[in-house]
């Protein structure tokens, strides 16, 4: 420590003169400088702590604080895309939803006679041979003869079979002969509940027309299901060949279906309804479809102010095999939504007043990146075949239809047609049924990928329905009610109405409260930064400034120091080689080496008079000390003297 | 002079602040503040100084910008919702049971006799347009006074420009195109039944209310007429004419405990006559239910005696029931459901509650006291509800405009119910008011929803009851219990069984809580300030202190300038206000003062040998005091 004061002078110079580049000449000094001067807490403790244990403790504490900060901030970042839910209730005038009403029976049976007579005859025949059922002996006898002569077109296409499961032989319904079943057996409904009694299994076989060895047998535990399914297959074949205009004529007109209509205390009529042809339910009528641009709204809740209709359900004209229940189906939906009556319709009983109270809920989810939903459906690679706004149901149906057209070459009857395709019928596509069943099986097992492609919509409207039923008309009012309604129906209907042909329907808002459930981002950038700041501040009293400091010190400064070291080394090596060459004795004194590190020395900037004056006296010189100035102010400021040990330590270093 | 001394001392004490010039003050502040940026400005080299200066400015502005956003967020009073589902012991809902038909026909027959005969005759005319089939000579002359007030007419609109109006009881055909123009928008190709209403008898101010269906027209007409007749009957008489509790409620079982019609509170409902409320909670404590399932719910057997219905008034038959909160009025037309005769209806209940925070979080009312509509239902001693508000609003308007109250709603003070004698034009007035969109909008705007919205979600299922095998004995016992007679007075068309019970999960509560509280605001503000600048409230106080100091400097400067002006005039020797020596001393003191912030270093007991005091460097201080201040003081 008793080296020349020259070293002290340069050390002093280092501090006093404006420094360019790193704050300290060496890495360790830089670290020291950083720790002493940084704004973060902790680092300073490490440096100023005395004792190894204490220092270790502080190092550990500081490191754990850094670790905690990193952990918590990572947590904050990961939870950034979370949503909070808010529920608001608004009391207001509500738009009345579209109400679509269908008769359960799609087409008038009397009008369909010419198309379906063959099929019905064969179905009746099947019922007789299988179950010994017949209605009116003579009629069946005749039909049997006819059938024998015609040969049974439909049975040849898809034979109904009685299956003995264990022997894997089937009795053909038509010929009565037994034959071995080829191909795989699909239990259409026994897969869920195993019936056990395999003797009664009935089903039909679908074969690939191109490759007759590939057959699939569909079995049902109950003949009711089998006959209906079989009938439906043929029915769809027949219907697919009838043009839409004809079908609309075959189905019910608005005058047929709607007897009276009353909305919001005012009378309404068929012009308030829009016809909508549903492939499975025939003509349906949508009230308040918004087609003419106006959407009715309700400003009073309660049953009197909703929609009240009396429907005429002509039970006598029902198709006996296609539908087995009587009544109407209704669905409450948004004007932009496609009514999936067959999927989510509510059934209406005849001879009863069905009162449906609605409660309106609107929901909105946040789309990406919060959740995987779609706003408009535009980002889904499935073409929307329905002329309505996107919904999951639409996507699934469209996806299936597309797969159907791609693999079977024709479209399924229950769903709309894609461009350039036409409905399947076995005149043109003899193979379609087998193809359809195969494809449907795949679809249900999620092998077509439709369920993966289709996403749910981000916003949806829901009308929660409370359905209750009362007897209508009441026994005492039945008489006059039916008389007046018959009169309403008009002169063309000669018979008196029966109460089982009528259904009264009331659809109304229970209250005008609209519940709106929405997701909001739980975090914004501002809050995220606040949380970061909170974490940094809590553990280390750090801020962005500290981060900049760290970047500055640990990356820029350290790098430059290392670089400079390397540069000096290279320079020294070069110098040494030069010296060795010239033979001069090496004079790399300590001072000079120090000088290499110090930018001041490199600048060769000599201290000026002023700066030299400000230099402190050699501290460990034996000179007697000047007594401290006796100013009162100085005495007060004890901190000033206490500051010194650090300075000393720095000097001794 | 003491005061002056004191003041001088005080002044000196204040002058011991960080500096005597703005620059000194600023440098002192930067060096000693706890915010992170400013320190760098004075500690770094000239280039970095500039960078740090701009960085600090940037961060400060960022902090203020984000603070603005945070405060805005706070003032928007957002709420978050939390949802809880489960089962807990809850108050069993109040159950209101009514008959769909308001009065026993046998009791009101004498009042409605004329009307019924009139309607029958009218129906006869409508259904058989060719008169003269011998019905007139049998019946006594009809009272056409009722008819003339509100006649039913048929309008033949084959000719759209000139529809033919046929009064059912008159043969003359009036061609009145201008009359129908009022609201006749329906253009039908067939005959339709209309119900015209004149504001004044004989005046031209008439409107026709069109119906496309005769059934509706007849029903509406009958309701208008019967309302007018029945509104003249006093209340106690109307209650007597309705269904009595002992006739209607045949059996009652709540949980395992038997109950009977006496456990029901009678209330007169204008639509449905006598209604009976179970567990209304008005007089006694509301019942709790602590078990889910039908066994622990309410079981009722009702008789609606369908044979005694008023034939033209209500065509649907059944019981009307509603679940609602205790002490609230049942609005059966809105929230009620039907139960069909001859069936057992099971209703599983889920209480769907929405608890909201009031103002300023959402615009709702806690008890309706801040709603500008007089609640007419408060006479039933019931709590505020939006339905009550809307109806009160309508009735108040009706009383104001038509001069009488509608029969369906409670009366405001000093107003009577409308009837055809006293208020001949009331039907017209009522119809126009009812269909007025503007009036509805006024009511919607003035009523507020309640903050606690409770809905009873019902899962309704039905089965035929009683079964054919059990029918006989059940009817026999129930008839015996009611009438003490062995005759069966009940049948399938009148009997209803009801089961009302809590589901397995009986509540779903959505409760709101403030998303942004003051604590949230403060921690977010602190987080922002800490994140960008490492600052805290103390830093703000520091800043405030500096501002005060700089104000002092300004004051001192001004004073000294003034003094200087005076002294210059007086040719004083020292132009500067404080003496030079003292200033230097102070400056030195301040140097020490600076170390206070830095001097938070740990100190061990034994101090190393004290270094000598540096040589008096006052000169250097005077030459270049500020440039070297920072680094120098740092070293020492």
Region A459-483: mean pLDDT is 89
pLDDT of residue A589: 46
CA angle B607, B612, B617 (to 5 degrees): 135
A611: in domain:
no
- CB of A532 less than 8 A from some CB of B: yes
Q: Does B633 score more than 50 pLDDT? A: no
pLDDT of residue A212: 61
- B406: chain A residues, CB-CB within 8 Å: none
On the question of a cis peptide bond just before residue A369, with omega within 30 degrees of 0, the verdict is yes
Region A490-494: mean pLDDT is 59
Q: Is A375 helix (H, G, I), strand (E, B) or coil?
A: coil
Number of other CB atoms surrounding residue B128 within 10 Å: 12
Q: What is the distance between the alpha carbons of residues A524 and A534, in angstroms, rounded to a whole number? A: 15
Which residue in B105, B213, B335 is closest to A510 by CB distance?
B335
User: Quick one: A174 and A231 in the same domain?
Assistant: yes
- The domains found in chain B, sorted by start residue, are 1-78+518-555 (no CATH), 81-100+245-359+451-510 (2.60.470.10), 105-126+144-169+188-241 (no CATH), 365-450 (1.10.287)
Average pLDDT, chain A: 77
Interface test with A, best of B337, B392, B529, B587 (most A CBs within 10 A): B337
A225: in domain:
yes
| Residue with the larger pLDDT of the pair A561 and A96 | A96
A182: in domain:
yes
Where do the H-state alpha helices sit in A24-92? 27-37, 43-48, 52-78
Report the number of distinct structural domains present in chain A: 4
Range from A580-584, B262-266, B342-346, B387-391 carrying the lowest mean pLDDT: A580-584
User: Quick one: A481 and A348 in the same domain?
Assistant: yes
Range from A285-289, A507-511, B453-457, B614-618 carrying the lowest mean pLDDT: B614-618
Q: What is the distance between the alpha carbons of residues B532 and A39, in angstroms, rounded to a whole number? A: 12
Query: Each residue of B205-255: pLDDT tens digit?
Result: 566 777 777 788 888 888 888 888 888 888 889 899 999 998 899 999 998
User: Quick one: A218 and A311 in the same domain?
Assistant: no
Structure tokens at A182: 């080829």
Region B541-547: mean pLDDT is 85
Region B440-450: mean pLDDT is 88
Structure tokens at B246: 């002992």
Contact A383, A402 (CB under 8 A): yes
Band of residue B360 on the pLDDT scale cut at 50, 70, 90:
confident
Range from A35-44, A252-261, B311-320, B624-633 carrying the lowest mean pLDDT: B624-633
Q: What is the distance between the alpha carbons of residues B155 and B341, in angstroms, rounded to a whole number? A: 38
A641: in domain:
no
Contact A271, A258 (CB under 8 A): no
Nearest chain B Cα to A270, which residue?
B212
pLDDT of residue B452: 87
From A428, A411, A408, A407, select the one nearest A420 (Cα to Cα): A411
Q: What is the distance between the alpha carbons of residues A102 and A104, in angstroms, rounded to a whole number? A: 6
For residue A364, give how far its alpha carbon lies from the nearest alpha carbon of chain B (Å): 15
- A272: chain B residues, CB-CB within 8 Å: none
β-partners of residue B338 are: B320
Record: contact B631-A16, CB cut-off 8 A: yes
Query: Each residue of B585-602: pLDDT tens digit?
Result: 555 555 444 444 444 444
β-partners of residue B484 are: none
Q: Which residues neighbour A15 within 8 Å (Cβ) at sequence distance 6 or greater?
A: B631, B632, B634, B635
Region B347-372: mean pLDDT is 87
Contact B385, B482 (CB under 8 A): no
User: Quick one: A269 and A354 in the same domain?
Assistant: yes
pLDDT of residue B567: 82
Range from A246-260, A493-507, B331-345 carrying the lowest mean pLDDT: A493-507
Range from A272-276, A641-645, B72-76, B502-506 carrying the lowest mean pLDDT: A641-645
User: Quick one: A404 and A318 in the same domain?
Assistant: no
Q: What is the pTM of this model?
A: 0.77
pLDDT of residue B52: 84
Query: Each residue of A567-578: pLDDT tens digit?
Result: 989 999 999 988
The interface residues of chain A toward chain B in range 371-400, judged by CB-CB distance below 8 A, are none
- B391: chain A residues, CB-CB within 8 Å: none
Instruction: Give me the domain span that covers residue A184.
Output: 116-132+153-241
Q: What is the distance between the alpha carbons of residues A615 and A15, in angstroms, rounded to a whole number? A: 11
ipTM: 0.78
Q: Which residues neighbour B554 within 8 Å (Cβ) at sequence distance 6 or greater?
A: none
User: Quick one: A125 and A233 in the same domain?
Assistant: yes
User: Quick one: A359 and A324 in the same domain?
Assistant: yes
Query: Each residue of B134-184: pLDDT tens digit?
Result: 444 444 566 666 666 677 777 666 666 666 666 666 544 444 433 333 333
Band of residue B10 on the pLDDT scale cut at 50, 70, 90:
confident
Which residue in B47, B531, B588 is closest to A529 by CB distance?
B531
From B626, B523, B468, select the one nearest B31 (Cα to Cα): B626
Structure tokens at B540: 């703000």
Range from A518-522, B5-9, B169-173, B418-422 carrying the lowest mean pLDDT: B169-173
Region B604-621: mean pLDDT is 51
Which residue in B209, B493, B531 is closest to A543 by CB distance?
B531
User: Quick one: A428 and A492 in the same domain?
Assistant: no
Q: Which residues neighbour A305 within 8 Å (Cβ) at sequence distance 6 or greater?
A: A264, A265, A298, A508, A509
pLDDT-above-70 percentage for chain B: 76
Band of residue B64 on the pLDDT scale cut at 50, 70, 90:
very high
pLDDT of residue A353: 92
Domain limit, last residue, from A457, A478, A510: A457
Q: Does B22 score more than 50 pLDDT? A: yes
β-partners of residue B390 are: none
User: Quick one: A384 and A450 in the same domain?
Assistant: yes
Number of other CB atoms surrounding residue A630 within 10 Å: 7
Region B398-426: mean pLDDT is 84
pLDDT of residue B68: 92
pLDDT of residue A175: 52
Structure tokens at B126: 């409508």
Region B572-582: mean pLDDT is 52
Question: What's B189-201 look like in SS3?
Answer: CCEEEEEEEECCC
Interface test with A, best of B18, B32, B36 (most A CBs within 10 A): B36
pLDDT of residue A508: 93
Record: contact B126-A485, CB cut-off 8 A: no
pLDDT of residue A199: 54
pLDDT of residue B191: 40
A578: in domain:
no
Region A258-272: mean pLDDT is 85
Region B79-101: mean pLDDT is 91
Helix axes B214-230, B426-434, angle to 10 degrees: 120
Domain limit, last residue, from A457, A480, A507: A457
CA angle B172, B174, B176 (to 5 degrees): 175
Contact A644, B610 (CB under 8 A): yes
- A48: chain B residues, CB-CB within 8 Å: 601-602
pLDDT of residue B190: 38
Query: Each residue of A407-438: pLDDT tens digit?
Result: 888 888 888 888 888 888 777 777 787 888 88
Matching residue, tokens 């939803």: A97
Find how far residue B238's CA is from the centre of its chain. 35
> Could you tell me the CATH number of the domain that includes residue A284?
2.60.470.10
On the question of a cis peptide bond just before residue B315, with omega within 30 degrees of 0, the verdict is no
User: Quick one: A352 and A279 in the same domain?
Assistant: yes
User: Quick one: A163 and A302 in the same domain?
Assistant: no
A471: in domain:
yes
Band of residue B132 on the pLDDT scale cut at 50, 70, 90:
very low
On the question of a cis peptide bond just before residue B360, with omega within 30 degrees of 0, the verdict is yes
Region B372-397: mean pLDDT is 89
Band of residue B188 on the pLDDT scale cut at 50, 70, 90:
very low
Q: What is the distance between the alpha carbons of residues A298 and A506, in angstroms, rounded to a whole number? A: 14
From A502, A465, A468, select the one nearest A482 (Cα to Cα): A502
Record: contact B531-A544, CB cut-off 8 A: yes
Structure tokens at A589: 């004194």
A183: in domain:
yes
> Could you tell me the CATH number of the domain that includes residue A383?
1.10.287.820
Which of A135-149, B39-53, B306-320 ranks highest by mean pLDDT? B306-320
Instruction: Determine the number of helices (DSSP H) and then strands (DSSP E) in chain A.
Output: 24, 20
Structure tokens at A219: 């079995």
Number of other CB atoms surrounding residue A652 within 10 Å: 10
Question: What's B48-104 look like in SS3?
Answer: HHHHHHHHHHHHHHHHHHHHHHHHHHHHCCCEEEEEEEECCCEECCEEEEEECCCCC
Strands A352-364, A502-521: pairing kind: parallel
Q: What is the distance between the alpha carbons of residues A297 and A315, in angstroms, rounded to a whole number? A: 34
Helix axes A478-489, B214-230, angle to 10 degrees: 140
A510: in domain:
yes
Nearest chain A Cα to B80, which residue?
A86
From A644, A15, A23, select the one nearest B592 (Cα to Cα): A644
pLDDT of residue A505: 93
Band of residue A613 on the pLDDT scale cut at 50, 70, 90:
low
User: Quick one: A34 and A57 in the same domain?
Assistant: yes
Q: What is the distance between the alpha carbons of residues A624 and B610, in angstroms, rounded to a whole number? A: 12
């Amino acid at each position: 420590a008793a080296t020349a004061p020259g070293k002290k002078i340069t050390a002093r110079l280092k501090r006093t003169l404006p420094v360019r580049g790193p704050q300290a000449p060496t890495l360790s000094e830089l670290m020291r400088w950083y720790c002493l001067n940084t704004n973060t807490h902790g680092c300073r403790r490490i440096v100023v702590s005395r004792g190894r244990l204490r220092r270790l403790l502080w190092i550990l504490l500081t490191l754990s604080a850094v670790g905690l900060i990193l952990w918590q901030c990572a947590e904050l970042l990961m939870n950034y895309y979370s949503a909070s839910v808010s529920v608001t209730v608004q009391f207001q005038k509500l738009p009345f939803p579209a109400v679509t009403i269908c008769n359960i029976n799609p087409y008038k049976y009397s009008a369909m006679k010419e198309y379906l007579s063959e099929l019905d005859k064969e179905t009746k025949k099947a019922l007789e041979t299988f179950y010994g059922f017949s209605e009116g002996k003579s009629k069946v006898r005749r039909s049997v003869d006819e059938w024998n002569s015609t040969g049974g077109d439909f049975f040849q296409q898809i034979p109904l079979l009685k299956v003995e499961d264990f022997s894997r032989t089937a009795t053909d319904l038509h010929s009565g002969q037994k034959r071995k079943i080829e191909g795989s057996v699909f239990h259409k409904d026994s897969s869920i509940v195993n019936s056990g009694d395999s003797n009664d299994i009935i089903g039909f076989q679908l074969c690939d027309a191109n490759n007759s060895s590939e057959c699939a047998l569909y079995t049902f535990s109950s003949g009711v299901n089998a006959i209906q399914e079989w009938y439906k297959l043929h029915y769809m074949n027949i219907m697919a060949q009838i043009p839409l205009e004809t079908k609309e004529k075959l189905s019910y007109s608005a005058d047929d279906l709607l007897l009276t209509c009353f909305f919001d205390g005012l009378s309404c009529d068929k012009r308030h309804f829009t016809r909508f042809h549903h492939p499975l339910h025939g003509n349906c009528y949508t009230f308040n479809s918004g087609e003419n641009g106006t959407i009715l709204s309700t400003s009073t809740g309660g049953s009197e102010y909703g929609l009240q209709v009396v429907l005429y359900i002509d039970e006598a004209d029902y198709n006996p095999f296609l539908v087995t229940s009587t009544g109407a189906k209704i669905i409450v939906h948004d004007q932009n939504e496609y009514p999936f009556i067959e999927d989510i319709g509510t059934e209406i009983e005849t001879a009863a007043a069905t009162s449906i109270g609605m409660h309106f809920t609107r929901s909105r989810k946040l789309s990406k990146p919060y959740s995987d939903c779609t706003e408009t459906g535009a980002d889904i690679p499935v073409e929307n075949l329905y002329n309505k706004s996107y919904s999951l149901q639409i996507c699934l149906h469209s996806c299936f239809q597309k797969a159907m057209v791609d693999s079977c070459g024709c479209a399924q009857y229950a769903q709309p047609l894609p461009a350039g395709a036409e409905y399947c019928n076995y005149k043109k596509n003899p193979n379609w049924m087998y193809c359809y069943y195969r494809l449907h099986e795949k679809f249900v097992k999620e092998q077509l990928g439709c369920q993966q492609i289709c996403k749910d919509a981000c916003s949806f409207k829901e009308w929660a329905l409370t359905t209750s039923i009362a007897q209508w008309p009441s026994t005492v009012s039945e008489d006059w009610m039916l008389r007046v309604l018959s009169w309403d129906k008009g002169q063309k209907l000669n018979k008196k109405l029966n109460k089982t042909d009528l259904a009264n329907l009331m659809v109304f808002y229970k209250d005008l409260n609209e519940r709106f459930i929405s997701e909001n981002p739980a975090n914004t950038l501002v809050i995220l930064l606040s949380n970061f700041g909170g974490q940094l501040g809590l553990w280390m009293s750090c801020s962005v400034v500290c981060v900049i400091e760290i970047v500055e010190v640990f990356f820029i400064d350290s790098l430059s120091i290392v670089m400079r070291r390397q540069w000096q080394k290279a320079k020294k090596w070069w110098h040494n080689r030069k010296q060795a060459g010239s033979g001069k004795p090496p004079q790399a004194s300590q001072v000079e080496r120090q000088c290499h590190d110090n930018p001041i020395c490199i600048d060769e900037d000599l201290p000026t008079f002023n700066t030299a004056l400000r230099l402190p006296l050699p501290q460990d010189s034996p000179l007697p000390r000047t007594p401290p100035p006796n100013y009162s102010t100085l005495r007060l400021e004890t901190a000033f003297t206490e500051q010194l040990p650090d300075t000393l330590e720095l000097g001794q270093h | 002079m003491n005061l002056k001394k004191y003041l001088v001392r005080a002044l000196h004490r204040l002058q011991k602040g960080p500096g005597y010039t703005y620059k000194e003050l600023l440098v002192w502040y930067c060096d000693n503040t706890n915010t992170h940026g400013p320190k760098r400005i004075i500690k770094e080299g000239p280039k970095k100084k500039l960078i740090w200066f701009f960085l600090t400015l940037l961060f400060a502005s960022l902090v203020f910008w984000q603070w603005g956003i945070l405060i805005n967020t706070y003032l928007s009073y957002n709420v978050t919702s939390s949802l809880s589902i489960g089962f807990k012991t809850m108050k069993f809902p109040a159950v209101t049971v009514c008959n769909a038909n308001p009065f026993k026909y046998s009791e009101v027959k004498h009042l409605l006799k004329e009307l019924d005969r009139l309607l029958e005759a009218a129906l006869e005319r409508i259904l058989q347009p060719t008169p003269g089939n011998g019905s007139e000579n049998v019946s006594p002359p009809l009272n056409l006074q009722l008819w003339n007030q509100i006649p039913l007419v048929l309008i033949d609109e084959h000719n759209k420009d000139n529809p033919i109006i046929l009064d059912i009881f008159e043969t003359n055909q009036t061609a009145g195109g201008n009359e129908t123009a009022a609201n006749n928008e329906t253009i039908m190709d067939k005959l339709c039944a209309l119900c015209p209403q004149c504001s004044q008898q004989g005046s031209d101010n008439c409107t026709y209310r069109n119906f496309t269906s005769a059934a509706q027209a007849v029903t509406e007409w009958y309701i208008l007429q019967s309302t007018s007749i029945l509104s003249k009957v006093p209340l106690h008489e109307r209650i007597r004419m309705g269904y009595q509790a002992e006739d209607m409620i045949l059996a009652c079982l709540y949980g395992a405990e038997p109950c009977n019609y006496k456990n029901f509170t009678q209330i007169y409902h204008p639509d449905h006559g006598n209604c009976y409320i179970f567990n209304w909670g008005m007089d006694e404590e509301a019942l709790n239910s602590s078990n889910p399932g039908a066994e622990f719910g309410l079981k009722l057997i009702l008789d609606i005696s369908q044979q005694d219905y008023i034939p033209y008034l209500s065509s649907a038959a059944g019981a009307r029931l509603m679940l609602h909160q205790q002490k609230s009025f049942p609005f059966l037309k809105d929230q009620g459901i039907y139960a069909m005769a001859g069936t057992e209806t099971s209703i599983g209940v889920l209480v769907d509650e929405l608890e909201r925070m009031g103002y300023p979080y959402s615009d709702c009312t806690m008890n309706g006291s801040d709603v500008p509509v007089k609640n007419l239902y408060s006479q039933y001693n019931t709590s505020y509800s939006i339905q009550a508000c809307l109806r009160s609003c309508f009735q108040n308007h009706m009383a104001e405009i038509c001069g009488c109250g509608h029969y369906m709603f409670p009366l405001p003070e000093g107003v009577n119910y409308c009837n055809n004698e006293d208020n001949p034009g009331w039907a017209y007035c009522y119809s126009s008011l009812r269909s007025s969109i503007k009036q509805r909008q006024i009511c919607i705007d003035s009523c507020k929803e309640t903050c606690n919205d409770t809905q009873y979600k019902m899962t309704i299922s039905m089965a035929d009851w009683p079964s054919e095998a059990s029918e006989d004995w059940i009817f026999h016992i129930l008839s015996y219990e009611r009438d003490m007679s062995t005759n069966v007075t009940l049948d399938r068309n009148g009997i209803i069984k009801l089961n009302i019970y809590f589901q397995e999960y009986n509540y779903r509560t959505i409760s709101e809580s403030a998303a942004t509280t003051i604590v949230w605001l403060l921690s977010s503000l602190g987080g922002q300030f800490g994140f960008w600048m490492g600052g805290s409230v103390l830093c703000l106080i520091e800043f405030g202190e500096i501002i005060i100091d700089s104000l002092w400097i300004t004051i001192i400067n001004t004073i000294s300038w003034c003094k200087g002006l005076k002294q210059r005039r007086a040719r004083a020797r020292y132009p500067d206000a404080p003496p030079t020596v003292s200033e230097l001393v102070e400056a030195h003191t301040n140097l020490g003062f600076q170390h206070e912030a830095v001097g938070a270093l740990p100190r061990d007991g034994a101090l190393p040998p004290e270094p000598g005091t540096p040589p008096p460097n006052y000169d250097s201080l005077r030459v270049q005091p500020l440039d070297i201040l920072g680094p120098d003081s740092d070293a020492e």
